[in-house]
Structure 1
Amino acid sequence: MDTPLLALTRRRIGAPSGPSAESAAAQNMRQLIQLRWIAVAGQTLAILAVHFGLGVPLPLTEMLGVAFALGAANLFATLALPRHRVQRGEVVIALLVDMAALTLQLYFSGGATNPFVSLYLLQVVLGAILLPPAWAAFLAVASVLSYALLSVRYAPLVFPEGLIAETAHLFAIGRWIAFVMVAGLLVLFITRISRNLRARDTHLADMRQHAAEEEGIVRMGLFASGAAHELGTPLGTLSVILADWRRMPGIAADPELLAEVQDMQSEVQRCKAIVSDILHSAGQPRGEAMASMTAGLFLDAVAEEWQQTHPHLSFEYDRSGAGAAVIAVDPALRQAIWNLLDNAAEASPDSIILDAGIDDGMLAIAVRDNGPGFAPDALGRVGQIYQSTKGAGHGLGLFLAVNVARRLGGRLEARNRKAGGAEVRILLPLAKAER
Structure 2
Amino acid sequence: MGGDKTIITNLRRLTALRAIALSAYIGVSLWLADSLSGSALVFVVLGVVTTLISGWRARGSVAVGRREFFGHLLMDWLWLPPLLAFSGGAANPFVTYLLVPLTIAAATQPRFFAWLMAAISIAIYTGLMVFFPGVESGHGAHAGHNMSHASEGSDFYQHLIGMWATFTFSALLIAGFVNSMAEALRSRDRHLHKLRQEQARRDQVLSLGTLAAGTAHELASPLQTIGLLVEELQAQQQDFSEPVKDDLELLQQQVNLCKQALEQLKSRARDPAGSEELQSVAAFIERSLERWQLLRPDARFTLQQRGSNHQQARLPLTLEQTLINILNNALDASLAADIPQPVALDVDWSRDRLRIEIADSGRGLESENPTAESGGFGIGLILCKTALAQLGGKLTLTARKDVPGTVATIELPLENEHEEAL
- Is the partner of 2:408 in helix, strand or coil? strand
The equivalent of 2:388 in structure 1 is 405
Offset at 1:362? Answer: 4.8
The equivalent of 1:72 in structure 2 is none
**Structure 1 counterpart of 2:211, one-letter code:** F
Offset at 1:374? Answer: 2.4
Range 365-374 or range 317-326, more displaced: 317-326
TM-score normalised by L of structure 2? 0.55
**Structure 2 counterpart of 1:424, one-letter code:** A
Is the Cα contact below 8 Å between 2:254 and 2:295 reproduced in 1? no
Is the Cα contact below 8 Å between 1:314 and 1:352 reproduced in 2? yes
Is the Cα contact below 8 Å between 1:303 and 1:317 reproduced in 2? no
Structure 1 runs not aligned, ≥5 long: 1-117, 130-162, 383-387
- Is the partner of 2:306 in helix, strand or coil? coil
Is the Cα contact below 8 Å between 1:328 and 1:408 reproduced in 2? no
Is the Cα contact below 8 Å between 2:332 and 2:373 reproduced in 1? no
Which of 352, 359, 379 is residue 368 of structure 1 equivalent to?
359
- Is the partner of 1:318 in helix, strand or coil? strand
Offset at 1:370? Answer: 1.9
Offset at 1:198? Answer: 0.7
Flag the 1:201–1:323 CA change in 2: closer, same or farther, 3 A: farther
In the alignment, does 2:241 pair up with 1:275? no
Which of 405, 408, 417 is residue 421 of structure 1 equivalent to?
405
Which of 275, 286, 289 is residue 303 of structure 1 equivalent to?
289
Offset at 1:282? Answer: 2.6
The equivalent of 1:225 in structure 2 is 213
**Structure 2 counterpart of 1:410, one-letter code:** G
CA distance in 2, matches of 1:323, 1:183: 65
CA distance in 1, matches of 2:308, 2:391: 17
Flag the 1:197–1:249 CA change in 2: closer, same or farther, 3 A: closer
Structure 2 runs not aligned, ≥5 long: 1-95, 108-150, 336-340
CA distance in 2, matches of 1:245, 1:288: 38
Flag the 1:168–1:326 CA change in 2: closer, same or farther, 3 A: farther
Which of 284, 289, 304 is residue 271 of structure 2 equivalent to?
284
Flag the 1:207–1:304 CA change in 2: closer, same or farther, 3 A: same
Flag the 1:391–1:239 CA change in 2: closer, same or farther, 3 A: closer
In the alignment, does 2:319 pair up with 1:355? no
CA distance in 1, matches of 2:192, 2:201: 14
Identity level (%): 27
- Is the partner of 2:358 in helix, strand or coil? strand
The equivalent of 1:208 in structure 2 is 196
Offset at 1:293? Answer: 4.8
Is the Cα contact below 8 Å between 1:325 and 1:363 reproduced in 2? no
Offset at 1:220? Answer: 0.8
- Is the partner of 1:424 in helix, strand or coil? strand
Offset at 1:314? Answer: 2.7
- Partner deviation per Cα, 1:202-244 (whole Å, 9 max, x = no partner): 1111111111111111111111111111111111112222222
Is the Cα contact below 8 Å between 2:393 and 2:411 reproduced in 1? yes
Larger RCO, structure (CA 8 Å, separation 6 or more)? 1
The equivalent of 1:132 in structure 2 is none
Question: RMSD of the alignment, in Å?
Answer: 3.2
- 1:141-160 equivalent positions in 2, closer than 5 A: none
Range 345-354 or range 305-314, more displaced: 305-314
In the alignment, does 2:325 pair up with 1:342? no
Is the Cα contact below 8 Å between 1:239 and 1:265 reproduced in 2? yes
- Is the partner of 1:348 in helix, strand or coil? helix
CA distance in 2, matches of 1:291, 1:202: 39
- Partner deviation per Cα, 1:294-352 (whole Å, 9 max, x = no partner): 53332222122213334443321122257666665322221111111111111224411
Is the Cα contact below 8 Å between 2:274 and 2:317 reproduced in 1? no
The equivalent of 1:197 in structure 2 is 185
Is the Cα contact below 8 Å between 1:322 and 1:363 reproduced in 2? no
Flag the 1:239–1:183 CA change in 2: closer, same or farther, 3 A: same
Is the Cα contact below 8 Å between 2:395 and 2:411 reproduced in 1? yes
Which of 373, 379, 384 is residue 396 of structure 1 equivalent to?
379
